[in-house]
Amino acid sequence: MTQRARAALDGRLTPAAADRLTEMTAAIAADPAAIRRLFPAAAREVARGPLDEADPTGITGPTLDDAVRAVLLETLASAQPDEQRAAEVAALYRYGDGDEKRAILRSLPALDVGEGARALVTDALRTNDLRLVGAAMGAWAGEHLDDDTWRQGVLKCLFIGVPLAAVQRLRERADAELARMVAAFGHERCAAGRPIPPDSRLVLDHFPEVAARFPDVAAALPTVPAP
């Protein structure tokens, strides 16, 4: 198993679970198609649960089962040619449950599946599943997603209640256009008598000139609790 995938599991697995994961990775290295039966079983046979007790369902970061499945996916990436791997990962995503899809989305930076990654992220952003939207706005999206789609992803997070802590490179990529979109969203919420998500501040506080054009939003913005 690779160092990157293994790091999240340090001290987290029982000896029996670690042995089972080693067996799984060996099977995939010998026959990449084995991942089709092993990937769904990974949480049950190796480990599942939170890595961060404050994020038990893996909205802002990986779960323990995400980390286990990342090891399997990175083994696949080493064992299978690019074109076949892209098709294999797409099939795992298509037929997987929400947890399996989340694990794939979080593993995309290590999988090198080309434009296939964009298709998976775009699909996840069309859902209202907080786990998938949060994972879709992770490291791959932060690095590769075009500006328009990335901005829409940030807005989707605010709309359905995904904490912006899930959005990788938020501070680096946020711009005046995103701030305008967030402020316009807040204006609509004010008009409907609904609260503005506190995380809106994580964008608007960096663009006060934009927020100033929406005085109702500026007045209604709640305070973000200190970490």
DSSP result, the chain:
--HHHHHTTTTTS-HHHHHHHHHHHHHHHH-GGGHHHHHHHHHHHT--SBSSTTSTT-SSS-BHHHHHHHHHHHHHHHHS-HHHHHHHHHHHHHHS-HHHHHHHHHHHHHH--THHHHHHHHHHHTS--HHHHHHHTSHHHHHHS-HHHHHHHHHHHHHHT--GGGSTTHHHH--HHHHHHHHHHHHHHHHTT-PPPGGGHHHHTT-HHHHTT-HHHHHHPPPPPP-
The answer to whether residue 84 is domain-embedded is yes
Contact by Cβ (8 Å): 109, 139: yes
Say how many domains are in the chain: 1
Residue 148: inside a domain? no
Instruction: With cut-offs at 50, 70 and 90, classify the pLDDT of residue 171.
Output: very high
pLDDT band at 3 (very low <50, low <70, confident <90, very high): low
Tokens of 142: 């932060």
Please check whether residue 114 is in contact with residue 82, taking contact to mean a CB–CB distance below 8 angstroms. Answer: yes
Q: Is residue 40 part of a domain?
A: yes
Quote the CA–CA distance of 45 and 21 in Å, as a whole number: 8
Confidence class for position 27, pLDDT limits 50, 70, 90: very high
pLDDT at 4: 62
- Tell me the sheet residues that pair with 118: none
- The CA-based diameter of the chain, rounded to the nearest angstrom, is 62
Print the domain residue range for 16. Answer: 3-131
Q: Is the pTM of this model over 0.85?
A: yes
- CA quadruple 143, 147, 153, 158: dihedral positive or negative? positive
Residue 20 binned pLDDT confidence (cut-offs 50, 70, 90): very high
Asked whether residue 196 is assigned to any structural domain, the reply reads: no
Is residue 33 in some structural domain? yes
- Percent of the chain at pLDDT > 70 equals 96
Q: Which amino acid is at 198?
A: P
Q: What angle do CA 40, 43, 48 make, to 5 degrees?
A: 150
- Residue 17 confidence (pLDDT): 97
Cβ-based neighbour number of residue 40 at 10 Å: 17
- Length of the chain equals 227
Residue 83's pLDDT band (boundaries 50, 70, 90)?
Answer: confident
Q: What is the pLDDT of residue 223?
A: 74
Residue 108 belongs to some domain of the structure: yes
Residue located via tokens 């802590």: 165
- The pLDDT value recorded for residue 6 is 73
209 in a structural domain? no
| Structure confidence at residue 5 (pLDDT) | 66
Please give the pLDDT value at position 222.
Answer: 81
Q: What is the pLDDT of residue 63?
A: 95
Alpha carbon 93 to chain centroid distance?
Answer: 14
Query: pLDDT grade, residue 204 (50/70/90)?
Result: very high
Amino acid identity, residue 46?
A: V
Whether residue 80 is contained in a domain is answered as: yes
